[in-house]
Amino acid sequence: MYKIFDAHTHTYPEKISGKACENLGQFYDFKVWGKGTYSDLESQAKDCGVAGFMLFSVATNATQVQKVNDSIASLAKISRSRGFETVGYAGMHQDYPDFAAELDRCLEMGLRGVKIHPDIQRVDIDDPRMLRLCALMEERGMTLFLHMGDNRPQYRYSEPKKLAHILSRFPSLRVVAAHMGGYKAWEEAERYIYGNPNVWYDISSTLWAITPQTAASLIHKCGAERVMFGTDYPVYNLRDYISLFMKIELTEEERGDILDNNAARFFDLANIAELDN
């Protein structure tokens, strides 16, 4: 039995979860399997032995930022009180007027990083506003968690080569490049960012689109010690995505690292109680 940490989950308030999942499915033209609520996520986690998860939300405009971050910080704290090793990352919008003040407030609330979804927010990840945000995050030792990649020409906001630009500008900024570095753009990810020592990866929204053999190849190119398990809930149900992962041919050490150990190191889960101090 493996310990499992899900490094990529999204939840929505009960009253809007159905519509949010519907919109997500329409945006990407795929079926969204989960209900999108924290209660459903927690129920699934208990059912398949997931010990903790990373919670995200997205600020689609600047006025949502503080509300989104208050919600994520509160929900992560509640989740920890219920026995889960849960971490929350802040959302930030490119037009928010005071990045520094909000980053400091997020740190006080136990949010140690920022998640950006460039396609939904319609902002290039190397836009000057985003570079300003990266500079402030680097100063504070905060981690940037990015949705990465898309093969549709109208959604090229998070091309791997743009992340390479960020990494060259901010040599001490740690980045998690979701979806193995580029949703449906894995060849680009290999060309531009694989091998960079400041980049980690998750395997969310990847395994249903590639073969287990291709997944193993990508994992080894990234470095299995830098890859974290993630489902992208509610895009996929936890148990089903775990089943997809278990089809990949890996060593037992690699499997255990990806399912939990790498996230434990990256997010310092041994000291997770400090987030509530």
Over residues 236-248, the mean pLDDT reads 97
pLDDT at 1: 76
Q: What radius of gyration, in Å, describes the C-alpha atoms of the chain?
A: 17
pLDDT at 93 over 90: yes
pLDDT, tens digit, for every residue of 121-146? 999 999 999 999 999 999 999 999 99
pLDDT of residue 59: 93
* Cβ neighbourhood burial of 155 (10 Å; 0-12, 13-18, 19+): middle
Average pLDDT over residues 18-39: 91
In angstroms, the CA 160 to CA 133 distance is 18
Number of residues that this document lists for the chain:
277
Domain residue extents for the chain:
4-272
More confident residue, 138 or 274: 138
Mean pLDDT of 73-84: 97
Query: 181: left (phi > 0), else alpha (psi -120 to 50), else beta?
Result: left
Q: What share of the chain is helix, strand, coil (3-state, %, to 5)?
A: 50, 15, 35
Class of the 4-272 domain?
alpha beta
Q: How many secondary structure helices (H) and strands (E) does the chain include?
A: 12, 9
Specify burial of residue 184 (Cβ count, 10 A radius: 0-12, 13-18, 19+): middle
The confidence score (pLDDT) of residue 214 equals: 97
- Closest residue by Cα to residue 87 from 48, 142, 147: 142
Q: What value does the mean pLDDT take over residues 216-238?
A: 97
Q: What percent of the chain has pLDDT over 90?
A: 90
CA atoms within 13 A on the CB side of 184: 9
Q: What pLDDT shows up at residue 41?
A: 97
Read off the amino acid at residue 121.
Q
Q: Give the mean model confidence (pLDDT) for residues 230-246.
A: 97
* Nearest Cα residue to 254 out of 196, 189, 203: 203
By the 10 Å C-beta count (0-12 exposed, 13-18 middle, 19+ buried), 149 is classed as buried
Please, which residues have CB within 8 angstroms of residue 18's CB and are 6 or more apart in sequence? 35, 36
Q: What is the mean pLDDT of the chain?
A: 96
Q: Which two tokens stand for residue 266?
A: 């990256």
Whether the predicted pLDDT of 82 surpasses 80: yes
pLDDT for 202: 98
Distance CA 205, CA 34 (A): 13
Could you tell me the pTM of the whole model?
Answer: 0.96
Q: Report whether pLDDT(267) > 90.
A: yes
Average pLDDT over residues 53-57: 95
